[in-house]
Amino acid sequence: MSDPHFRCGHVAIVGRPNVGKSTLLNHILGQKISITSSKPQTTRHRILGIKSGAGAQVIYVDTPGIHEQAKRAMNRYMNRVATATLQDVDLIIFMVEALRWTAEDEAVLERLRETSIPVIALVNKVDKVADKGKLLPFLRELAQKDSFAEVIPISATRRPDTARVEQAVERMIPEQPPLYPEDQLTDRSERFLAAEIIREKLMRRLGQELPYVLTVEIEKFACDEGGLTEIAAVIWVERSSHKGIVIGKGGRQLKRVGELARKEMEQLFGSRVFLQLWVKVKEGWSDDERALRSLGYGDEN
C-alpha cells in the first residue's frame, strides 16, 4: 500500500555561475552526475538528479549559471534553460557565496521575484570564511532582500550541511507518489554523461578561455557482449590554433584527457571502456544558434 504522506517534487538549484550548484547536487546524491571545475559556466545543460528515500523523492534540477550579460549565443542558451526551469518546479534553491553579493546575484534574485514559487536561500562556502563574525550580518542582509522560506548557511561538501538542506526541502515539497523508479539517479543517458566527463577533463586541464569555445560530441557509443563499451568522441573547437592546444605537444594533452575520462567512465558505467578522441574545427560554433542546435544545445524542457 502506498504511503499517503509520501512527498515528491521538483527543486531547481539556481544562482550565478560558479557558486557551487553542481557540487551541491553531487554531494546530495552521493555520486557525480553533474560535472564541476573551478571555472564558471561549467554546467551548460539542465540535469535532473533524483534522490529517493523512504518518505520522499526529490528531483533536483541543476541549471546553468544565470548571466547578467549574455553576449554570445551559448550564454543566451544557458540563460533560457535556467529561466525556463523556474516555471516547472515546486521549490527553488537560490545559492549565493558567503560574504559575496554581486550584480549577477542581484540579477538572479530579480528573476526569482517574478515567481510565486517558494525559495530557500543557501549561503555556500561558509567554511572558507576566515572571520566568522562577518557571517551573521551577511545572513541578516540577505534575509532582508526577499521573503525567503529559509536562509541556510552551508558548505556544499559537508554531509551534515547537505542533510540540513535535504530536510528543509522535504518539508516543503508536495505530498504525492514518486515520479521515478527508486533506483533511477538521473534523466540523462550514459552517452550524455560520457560527453560531459570528457568536457570536464578538458576544462580542468586547459587555460582560462579555451574551455568556453569547445564542446564534445559523441559519434559512437556501443556496448558488446564481452562487457566493453566503445566510445568515439569529437572535441569541437573554434579555431585551428585551438586544435593544437587541445592535442598538446606530441599528443600528450589529448592522451591525458582520454586517460582521465576513460577511468571515470569505467567507474561510472561499471564496464571496460575503449575511448577514441578526435579534435575538429567548427568556426564560431558557440555564437551560432544553428550550430548550437546541431551540437545538442536545443532548448530543453
Q: How far apart are CA 260 and CA 247, in angstroms?
A: 15
Q: Report percent pLDDT > 90 for the chain.
A: 73
Assigned domain for 46 exists? yes
- Shared domain for 131 and 236, answered yes or no, is no
Tell which wins on pLDDT, 191 or 85: 191
- Structural domain including 278 reads 190-294
How far is the C-alpha of 53 from the C-alpha of 47, rounded, in Å? 20
Q: What is the pLDDT of residues 99-122, one digit of tens each?
A: 999 999 999 999 999 999 999 999
Minimum mean pLDDT among 86-90, 195-199, 235-239: which range? Answer: 86-90
**Residue type at position 108:** V
Classified as helix, coil or strand, 41 is coil
Contact 201, 257 (CB under 8 A): yes
Residue whose cell numbers read 525559495: 119
> Regarding beta strands 47-52 and 7-14, do their DSSP bridges make them parallel or antiparallel, or are they unpaired?
unpaired
Work out how many domains the chain is built from and give that number: 2
Q: Is residue 224 assigned to a domain?
A: yes
Are 132 and 51 part of one and the same domain?
yes
pLDDT at 299 over 80: no
Are 41 and 142 contained in the same domain?
yes
Measured at the alpha carbon of residue 11, what is the angle toward residues 170 and 151, in degrees to the nearest 5?
Answer: 70
User: In this structure, are 136 and 17 located in the same domain?
Assistant: yes
Confidence of residue 96 (pLDDT cuts 50, 70, 90): very high
Give the residue from 140, 172, 204 where a domain finishes.
172
Q: Which residue has the higher pLDDT, 29 or 43?
A: 29
pLDDT tens digit string along 74-84?
888 888 887 88
149 and 196 housed in the same domain: no
pLDDT tier at 301, thresholds 50, 70, 90: very low
**49, 156: one domain:** yes
| Same domain as 266, residue 163 | no
Does a structural domain hold residue 265?
Answer: yes
Q: Is 195 found in the same domain as 166?
A: no
Lowest mean pLDDT among 23-27, 231-235, 275-279, 287-291: 287-291
Q: Which residues of 180-209 are buried (b: 16+ CB within 10 A; e: fewer)?
A: eeeeebbebebebbbbbbbbbbbbbbbeee
pLDDT one-digit tens code per residue, 127-161: 999 999 999 999 999 999 999 999 999 999 999 99
Cell matching residue 116: 510565486
Quick: pLDDT tens for 203-213.
999 877 677 78
Q: Looking at the structure, do residues 115 and 17 belong to the same domain, yes or no? A: yes
* pLDDT band at residue 225 using 50, 70 and 90 as cut-offs: confident
| pLDDT given for residue 67 in this prediction | 64
Percentage of the chain beyond pLDDT 70 is 97
> What is the full DSSP assignment across 176-245?
---SS-TT--BSS-HHHHHHHHHHHHHHHHS-SSGGGGEEEEEEEEEE-TTSEEEEEEEEEESSHHHHHH
Residue type, 169: V
Phi-psi group of 121: left, alpha or beta (phi > 0 → left; psi -120 to 50 → alpha; rest → beta):
beta
Q: Mean pLDDT over all residues of the chain?
A: 91
In the predicted model, is pLDDT for residue 256 greater than 90?
A: yes
In a domain, 301, yes or no: no
285 pLDDT higher than 80: yes
Q: What is the pLDDT of residues 153-174, one digit of tens each?
A: 999 999 999 999 999 999 999 9
Same domain (yes/no): 69, 158: yes
Residue 280 sits in a domain whose CATH number is: 3.30.300.20
220 touches 214 (CB < 8 A): no
Query: Same structural domain for residues 106 and 151?
Result: yes
- Do 166 and 228 lie in a common domain? no
Kindly state whether residue 184 falls inside one of the protein's structural domains.
no
* 44-63 pLDDT per residue, tens: 888 899 999 999 999 999 88
| Residue 118 falls inside a structural domain | yes
Long-range residue pairs from 167-171, CB within 8 A, at least 24 positions apart, any chain: 168/120, 169/11, 169/58, 169/91, 169/93, 169/120, 170/7, 170/53, 170/55, 170/56, 170/58
Residue 2 lies in a domain: no
- pLDDT value of position 1: 40
